[in-house]
């Protein structure tokens, strides 16, 4: 199981922060995101029973996508003050559980996940845990993407078959759809004036961006004009949407086998004043 660490951490933070209550240690260190992260993480481990686990993270700072398009993710607010100190603490917590933390400078967690999924799926089945639908482009016969839905313990599992049943798209076509419609959360526009519905229809009918461009004469004058006007942005948006699967990261199977050292875990949870999580994990204090 490859875990999208940031997706889980942000979800865990906002699940409690919106109520106005932030869990803290006696010394005032905020821990609500860490507590929620472990609950989400362990629920998925129990439900899907992976033999090996790796957690992938964004490093912050510039990425190759930001160099290609300066406004990439430029609309995102700074992380909340109470979340910032929890970024480093959660890495220590995962270390204590024997789960490797993987990241790569200049790349995003998605790229690390894509690279590791490509490597491991040659020999074993891979599960990706996230809330990010961008990762659906990685679905394959040996890679399932588990999307966390609203509500604790609620998941949608995507295989090539279930993805096609729901969206009438093959995994690689997710990239083409995003190239056309853009991505508001990542702050790139795609083709201005083409929304999700039209993007899906075009990709379903013509197969890919190349297929659409080969049949421009068959499109309505309005759609054709929009694509021709924004052709450069269409190609750039496609590059931004595609997850890179050849990032310089690796992790040996023996390192990521899931096996808790109960004392190490118990000591870490006690340090963070989260002893109740020991019961959740079945760890003897």
Position 284 scores a pLDDT of 73
Average pLDDT, the chain: 95
Strands 2-4 and 101-102, sheet pairing: unpaired
Could you tell me how far CA 162 lies from the centroid of its own chain? 19
Q: 3-class SS at 144? A: strand
pLDDT at 221 over 70: yes
Q: CB–CB of 152/178 below 8 Å?
A: no
Q: Where in the chain is the domain with CATH 1.10.150.20?
A: 173-241
109 CB-near residues (< 8 Å, 6+ apart): 4, 5, 6, 56, 57, 58, 103
Instruction: Give all strands (DSSP E) within the chain, no chain letters.
Output: 2-4, 54-56, 101-102, 126-130, 143-148, 155-158
Mean pLDDT of 227-243: 97
**Residue intervals in the chain for CATH 3.40.50.1010:** 2-163+243-281
The pLDDT value recorded for residue 63 is: 94
**In this model, does residue 285 exceed pLDDT 70?**
no
Listing DSSP states for 170-191 in one string gives -TTHHHHHHHHH-BTTTTB--S
Q: How far apart are CA 133 and CA 184, in angstroms?
A: 13
pLDDT at 150 over 80: yes
Among 285, 264, 3, smallest CA distance to 130 is for: 3
Could you read off the pLDDT of 186-211 as tens digits, one per residue?
A: 999 999 999 999 999 999 999 999 99
Q: Give Cα 282 to chain centroid, integer Å.
A: 28
Interval 56-75: pLDDT, tens: 999 988 899 999 999 999 88
Which residues are CB-contacts of 264 (< 8 A; sequence separation ≥ 6)?
A: 96, 97, 98
Query: Which residue is associated with the tokens 């472990």?
Result: 38
Two tokens, residue 100: 């490797």
* Terminal-to-terminal C-alpha distance of the chain: 27
With residue 227 as reference, give the H or E element that holds it. Answer: helix 221-229
Say which CATH topology domain 2-163+243-281 has. Answer: Rossmann fold (3.40.50)
The pairing of beta strand 143-148 with beta strand 155-158: antiparallel
> pLDDT value at position 61?
83
Of 86, 90, 65, 85, the residue nearest 76 (C-alpha): 65
Per cent of the chain over pLDDT 70 is 100
CB 54 within 8 A of CB 251: yes
Mean pLDDT calculated for residue range 240-250: 96
Residue found under tokens 């890179």: 244
Q: How does pLDDT run across 103-128, given as a tens digit for each residue?
A: 999 999 999 999 999 999 999 999 99
The answer on pLDDT for 235 being more than 70 is yes
The domain 173-241 is classified under which CATH number: 1.10.10.60, 1.10.150.20, 3.40.1380.20, 1.20.1740.10? 1.10.150.20
């Amino acid at each position: 199981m490859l875990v999208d660490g940031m997706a889980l951490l942000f979800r865990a933070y906002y699940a409690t922060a919106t109520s106005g209550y932030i869990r803290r240690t006696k010394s005032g260190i905020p821990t609500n995101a860490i507590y929620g992260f472990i609950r989400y993480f362990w629920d998925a481990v129990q439900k899907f029973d992976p033999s090996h686990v790796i957690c992938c993270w964004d490093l912050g700072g510039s990425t190759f996508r930001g160099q290609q398009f300066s406004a990439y993710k430029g609309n995102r607010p700074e992380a909340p003050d109470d979340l910032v100190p929890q970024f480093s603490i959660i890495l220590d917590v995962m270390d204590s559980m024997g789960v490797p933390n993987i990241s790569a400078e200049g790349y995003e967690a998605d790229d690390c996940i894509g690279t590791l999924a490509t490597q491991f799926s040659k020999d074993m089945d891979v599960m990706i845990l996230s809330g990010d639908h961008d990762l659906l482009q990685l679905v394959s016969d040996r890679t399932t993407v588990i999307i966390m839905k609203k509500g604790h313990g609620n998941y949608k599992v995507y295989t090539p078959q279930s993805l096609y049943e729901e969206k009438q798209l093959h995994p690689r076509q997710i990239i083409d759809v995003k190239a056309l419609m853009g991505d508001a959360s990542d702050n790139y526009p795609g083709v201005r004036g083409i929304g999700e519905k039209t993007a899906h229809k075009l990709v379903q009918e013509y197969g890919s961006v190349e297929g659409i461009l080969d049949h421009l004469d068959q499109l309505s004058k309005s759609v054709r004009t929009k694509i021709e006007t924004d052709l450069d942005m269409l190609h750039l948006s496609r590059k931004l949407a595609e997850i890179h699967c050849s990032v310089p990261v690796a992790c040996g199977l023996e390192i990521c086998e899931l096996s808790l050292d109960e004392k190490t875990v118990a000591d870490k949870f006690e340090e963070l004043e989260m002893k109740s999580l020991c019961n959740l994990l079945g760890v003897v204090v």
